[in-house]
Structure 1
């Protein structure tokens, strides 16, 4: 089962309400996404921790309902 754009966006916006989020469906199958997330919450946080924060926002659905997610995370410039 795949995760549609609206569901993915809802999870991310709940966790990062201040963020600018850009989602790209890499394969056109709702199963391989790229997420670019710019959030104040990432300020002073390592890239690894930023990605862990995103995975936590997905509430255990990564690897199941969501097969692949390429991440680009950063704090605002």
Structure 2
């Protein structure tokens, strides 16, 4: 079951309202994505903590509706 990029972006923005979110469909199948997320919420957090925030925003869809998500998380300059 594929998940639209717009839905991924909306879920992340709902959890991290200040986030700049870029979603790229890596395989053209709606199942393998890359996401670049820039948020002040990441400041002072480890890479693992940042990724956990994004995965929590997806509400358990990883491994089900969303098979793979390559993450790049950053703090604004």
4+ aligned runs moved over 2 Å, structure 1 = none
Structure 1 residues not aligned, in runs of 5+? none
Aligned residue pairs total 77
CA distance in 1, matches of 2:8, 2:75: 20
CA RMSD for the aligned pairs?
Answer: 0.6
- State the partner residue of 1:70: 70
CA distance in 2, matches of 1:6, 1:36: 14
CA distance in 2, matches of 1:60, 1:20: 21
Structure 2 residues not aligned, in runs of 5+? none
